[in-house]
Amino acid sequence: MRRGFLLNRSLSADNKSQRAPKPKSGDEAHGLVDKSRPPAGAAPIPIPTLRTQSISHHEPQLSALTLGTQVTLYVVHLPPPPSGLGSAEHTTTCVLLSGQTPHILAIPGFPCAPAQPAIPRLYDLRPVPSALSASSPGSPVVELGLFAPAVLEPGDLVLSERPLLLTLRALPAGDAPGMRADDLLERVAASMPAREQRAFLGLRNYRARDTRYSRARGIVDTNALGVGALPGYPGDCAVVCELTCRANHSCSPNAVARWDLPSFSIELRARRRILAGEEITISYLPELTLPRATRITLLRESYAFTCACPACSLTGDAHARSDARRAALARHRSLVYDDAQFAEWLAEPGEEGAHKVVAACEAVMAMIDEEGCIEDVVWPVCLHWLCKANSVLGREEEARARARRAAGLARAFTGEDGGWVKVADDPRMTEWWCCRTKQ
Ligand SMILES: [Zn+2]
């Protein structure tokens, strides 16, 4: 990992000795007096810092990881089925290690109610037009996709749902009959409640014609979303959902799925504005910044389809520019936000440094937008710095606009605005507001 996000040499190399303190008391730190600062005694609003959070993405091939044959797995239904009738929330059939269930039940408030969309149904499930379809040849299942019935804004919750199935990604490695992961998953599917079982068996299986894999195994490998570790065991888990797993892939996805442990549910949220009638897409890739050839190869190998998304359909110079932009964004992913460097910039005379930082961050955000490559690492840094730099320059509307965008993206990736709404409401109340001497 390298440090030095966005700062080019002209901004940082010659100013090591001029590092400025953070402007907690800006007047004394910078010898300035600015009448537009927050009133004395008012608590400043912090500009939210980088909040990376691994997002859910498809992680196929359970066979890549195996447990020893001596472990004991249990099939349990979580949350525990309600004692009364009439609950609309179904439970999830889970494959867990012995002793893991009490750790999950001990989560404070478990299970919280899943978040509810502002409007009851913000998706339509319908066949995908052939021009958009990326299905494998001869797939016996009609390709369905999720479509937006109305305009969705960044951060809007499209749907939340308890998974049909949750399983450890590492399953027993034995080849003996009954010990194979395929057999285990068949038994798990057979133990599902009738409605959930129908929904599970109705999902796409790109391995339907490959007799080496059981039906349940093929469905899991085709649809699984990685959710990381659960309490009680550090190994990764994966879920299969009735609706979210209907979202098709795009290398410029307009939505993102995230796992919410307290409610034991998957949330699907818009990561950019989605127009009415537009297909809602997510990414099946570990990284969106990969070049097209690598993306296509990975998707072919993992899911047996050839991506025909807009980014993968570019030709000639447009294709080369797209790969170049994604390569640049990949470089930015490896950089680490460092507040000390912002202070270095702050110590420079005049406002030239501020404008350079703004220009650099805006250029990166433009690449993100051109590629539709809104992932969870680069935008938090860019928008943090843009909001901070514009606040330092006293540009209220610019700071507010970046804070609003960050609030929507924070909701998309974490479920919460992360404090960005407060900043958007009143950028003048941040500790960075006009803290730089205007010369
Ligand atoms: Zn693509």
Question: Looking at residue 407, what is its pLDDT?
Answer: 96
62-284: CATH architecture: Beta Complex (2.170)
Compare 198 and 23 and report the one with higher pLDDT: 198
Cα angle, residue 91 at apex, residues 86 and 97 outer, rounded to 5°: 155
Compare 215 and 46 and report the one with higher pLDDT: 215
Distance CA 208, CA 416 (A): 39
Centre of ligand 1 from the C-alpha of residue 65, in Å? 27
Centre of ligand 1 from the C-alpha of residue 287, in Å? 12
pLDDT digits (tens, 9 = 90+) for 148-160: 999 999 999 999 9
Centre of ligand 1 from the C-alpha of residue 229, in Å? 28
Residue 128 has pLDDT above 70, yes or no: yes
Distance CA 383, CA 191 (A): 47
What is the average per-residue pLDDT within 167-196? 82
pLDDT band at 308 (very low <50, low <70, confident <90, very high): very high
Question: Looking at residue 67, what is its pLDDT?
Answer: 53
Query: Residue 106 phi/psi, 5° resolution?
Result: -85, -5
CB 34 within 8 A of CB 363: no
Centre of ligand 1 from the C-alpha of residue 284, in Å? 10
Centre of ligand 1 from the C-alpha of residue 285, in Å? 10
Centre of ligand 1 from the C-alpha of residue 328, in Å? 18
Centre of ligand 1 from the C-alpha of residue 249, in Å? 8
Centre of ligand 1 from the C-alpha of residue 268, in Å? 20
Choice among 23-27, 144-148, 314-318, 374-378 with the minimum mean pLDDT: 23-27
Cα angle, residue 24 at apex, residues 21 and 26 outer, rounded to 5°: 80
Question: Looking at residue 23, what is its pLDDT?
Answer: 44
Residue 123 has pLDDT above 50, yes or no: yes
Centre of ligand 1 from the C-alpha of residue 145, in Å? 16
Residue 330 has pLDDT above 80, yes or no: yes
Centre of ligand 1 from the C-alpha of residue 421, in Å? 33
pLDDT digits (tens, 9 = 90+) for 360-404: 899 999 999 999 999 888 999 899 999 999 999 999 999 999 999
pLDDT band at 176 (very low <50, low <70, confident <90, very high): low
What is the average per-residue pLDDT within 224-243? 92
Centre of ligand 1 from the C-alpha of residue 314, in Å? 10
Residue 133 has pLDDT above 70, yes or no: no
Cα angle, residue 306 at apex, residues 228 and 258 outer, rounded to 5°: 25
Residue 422 has pLDDT above 70, yes or no: yes
Query: Residue 289 phi/psi, 5° resolution?
Result: -85, 5
Question: Looking at residue 18, what is its pLDDT?
Answer: 36
Centre of ligand 1 from the C-alpha of residue 90, in Å? 34
Ligand 1 ion: residues within 5 Å (CB): 251, 307, 309, 312
Distance CA 102, CA 106 (A): 6
Extents of the domains making up the chain: 2-50+337-429, 62-284
Question: Looking at residue 36, what is its pLDDT?
Answer: 52
Centre of ligand 1 from the C-alpha of residue 254, in Å? 13
Chain position carrying tokens 């433009």: 366
Contacts of 166 (CB under 8 A, 6+ apart): 78, 92, 93, 94, 95, 96, 227, 230, 237, 238, 239
pTM of the model: 0.85
Question: Looking at residue 262, what is its pLDDT?
Answer: 93
Residue 13 has pLDDT above 80, yes or no: no
Centre of ligand 1 from the C-alpha of residue 86, in Å? 42
Distance CA 259, CA 228 (A): 9
Greatest Cα-to-Cα distance within the chain, rounded to the nearest angstrom: 79
Q: In angstroms, what is the C-alpha Rg of the chain?
A: 24
pLDDT band at 315 (very low <50, low <70, confident <90, very high): very high
pLDDT band at 235 (very low <50, low <70, confident <90, very high): confident
With pLDDT > 70 as the criterion, what percentage of the chain qualifies? Answer: 77
Centre of ligand 1 from the C-alpha of residue 51, in Å? 27
For all residues of the chain together, what is the average pLDDT?
A: 82
pLDDT band at 338 (very low <50, low <70, confident <90, very high): confident
Choice among 134-138, 180-184, 223-227 with the minimum mean pLDDT: 134-138
Centre of ligand 1 from the C-alpha of residue 165, in Å? 27
pLDDT digits (tens, 9 = 90+) for 38-86: 556 668 888 887 555 544 444 444 443 455 556 678 889 998 876 544 4
Residue 9 has pLDDT above 70, yes or no: no
